């Protein structure tokens, strides 16, 4: 009898509330951020601008130019995620992202009907403008223009009220997405200098000579870069050679491992599991049947951050080797270059 008197019924589960709520309105949810696709506009044959209308759970006040969101869609019954930079937030709270129709999630997004609902994360990422820049150099290629475009618009808005500083943008593109808008911005703002390189017409790669020619002052500017892997590797090498790493801020969309490195033994200490890693540590762990926490998979969200107890890893983005013990790494952008022990 006493056990019956002390019985406490369980609270109603969040997923049950969400299930009932979405029957009334597909955007309703207790805590989850859901968004409706309200417009899809082509920028090129395979590049699309998508307008999303999030529900009241999205922390719009926390969004800063240069940040991204994780978009989750269900494909063949499996939840799939991809990270996209927010190009712009409209006055009504709608979010604008640009999606190239490459990869399973991106292709599905560009083909979804208007009013389809997807799930979003809160704003994330640290690819943000600094407040004390003397001048700014923005460098983008391909889809990397989305993050750079967002930073550029914020920088130009700031300059409307402050003393404007020189801004240069070097943009490598084969399809001219955003090209007309960028030309117009350059015409409207004399301190913004736009350098466009049409890679479908000329085979021009980023090198020191090009930087000196287009932006002779680049060594005194703060550089913000986002783009394809070859461009980012070249840029990192140039800035390392000139000892300018502290002036380089960067974001990546695609991570490629060094296929010439041999596989290494990796141990997850707490799980007491060992596996061979021949790609980034996250994918190698998943290949071995493990399921470490992760989010963006490109080094933005910090969900897969963990402590490397011992061993050496290569940062796939920067190329730097970490030999230290008890240091923080991100599984998705780390590749083992020796046997490694991780506190997971």
Tell me the per-residue pLDDT of 116-175, one tens digit each, with 9 for 90 and over.
999 999 999 889 999 889 999 999 999 999 999 999 999 999 877 667 899 999 999 998
| Angle at alpha carbon of residue 305, lines to 151 and 223, rounded to 5° | 25
Both 214 and 281 in one domain: the answer is: no
Structural domain total, the chain: 3
Both 18 and 111 in one domain: the answer is: yes
Would residue 7 count as lying in a domain? no
* Mean pLDDT on 20-29: 69
Residue where one domain finishes, among candidates 252, 273, 291: 252
Both 221 and 269 in one domain: the answer is: no
Would residue 128 count as lying in a domain? no
Both 243 and 271 in one domain: the answer is: no
pTM: 0.77
* Mean pLDDT on 72-83: 88
Residue where one domain finishes, among candidates 120, 146, 161: 120
Q: What integer best gives the mean pLDDT of the chain?
A: 89
Both 166 and 268 in one domain: the answer is: no
pLDDT-wise least confident of 201-205, 274-278, 287-291, 317-321: 317-321
* Mean pLDDT on 243-265: 84
**Confidence band for 302, pLDDT divided at 50, 70 and 90:** confident
pLDDT-wise least confident of 3-17, 40-54, 255-269: 3-17
Kindly compute the dihedral angle of the four CA atoms of residues 118, 228, 321, 328, in this order, to the nearest 10 degrees: -20
**What would the pLDDT profile of 202-236 be if each residue is shown by its tens digit?**
888 899 999 999 999 999 999 999 998 889 989 99
Both 82 and 24 in one domain: the answer is: yes
Would residue 6 count as lying in a domain? no
| Angle at alpha carbon of residue 144, lines to 140 and 147, rounded to 5° | 100
Both 155 and 85 in one domain: the answer is: no
Domain span holding position 303: 264-342
Residue where one domain finishes, among candidates 70, 94, 120: 120
**Confidence band for 4, pLDDT divided at 50, 70 and 90:** very low
Would residue 1 count as lying in a domain? no
Query: What residues are paired with 52 via a beta bridge?
Result: 37, 95
| Distance of alpha carbon 288 from alpha carbon 164, whole angstroms | 53
* pLDDT at residue 3, rounded to an integer: 45
Query: What SS3 state is found at 342?
Result: strand
């Amino acid at each position: 009898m006493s056990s019956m008197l002390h019985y406490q019924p369980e609270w109603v589960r969040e997923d049950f509330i969400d299930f009932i709520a979405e029957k009334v309105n597909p955007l309703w949810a207790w805590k989850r951020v859901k968004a409706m696709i309200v417009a899809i506009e082509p920028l090129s044959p395979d590049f699309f601008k998508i307008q999303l209308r999030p529900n009241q759970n999205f922390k719009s006040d926390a969004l800063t130019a240069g940040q991204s969101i994780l978009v989750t869609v269900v494909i063949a019954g499996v939840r799939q995620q991809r990270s996209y930079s927010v190009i712009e937030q409209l006055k009504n709270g709608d979010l604008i992202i640009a999606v190239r129709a490459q990869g399973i999630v991106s292709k599905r997004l560009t083909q979804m009907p208007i009013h389809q609902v997807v799930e979003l994360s809160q704003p994330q990422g640290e690819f943000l403008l600094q407040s004390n820049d003397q001048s700014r150099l923005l460098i983008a290629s391909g889809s990397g223009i989305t993050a750079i475009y967002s930073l550029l618009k914020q920088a130009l808005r700031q300059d409307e009220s402050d003393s404007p500083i020189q801004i240069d943008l070097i943009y490598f593109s084969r399809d001219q997405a955003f090209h007309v808008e960028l030309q117009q911005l350059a015409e409207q703002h004399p301190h913004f200098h736009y350098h466009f390189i049409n890679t479908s017409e000329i085979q021009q790669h980023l090198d020191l000579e090009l930087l000196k020619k287009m932006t002779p002052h680049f060594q005194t500017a703060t550089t913000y870069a986002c783009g394809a892997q070859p461009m980012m590797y070249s840029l990192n090498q140039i800035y390392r050679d000139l000892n300018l790493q502290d002036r380089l801020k960067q974001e990546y969309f695609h991570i490629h491992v060094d296929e010439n490195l041999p596989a290494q033994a990796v141990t997850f200490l707490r799980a007491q599991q060992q596996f061979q890693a021949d790609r980034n540590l996250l994918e190698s762990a998943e290949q071995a049947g493990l399921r470490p926490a992760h989010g963006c998979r490109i080094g933005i969200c910090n969900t897969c951050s963990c402590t490397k107890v011992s061993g050496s890893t290569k940062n796939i983005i920067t190329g730097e080797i970490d030999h230290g013990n008890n240091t923080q790494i991100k599984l998705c952008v780390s590749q083992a270059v020796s046997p490694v022990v991780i506190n997971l």
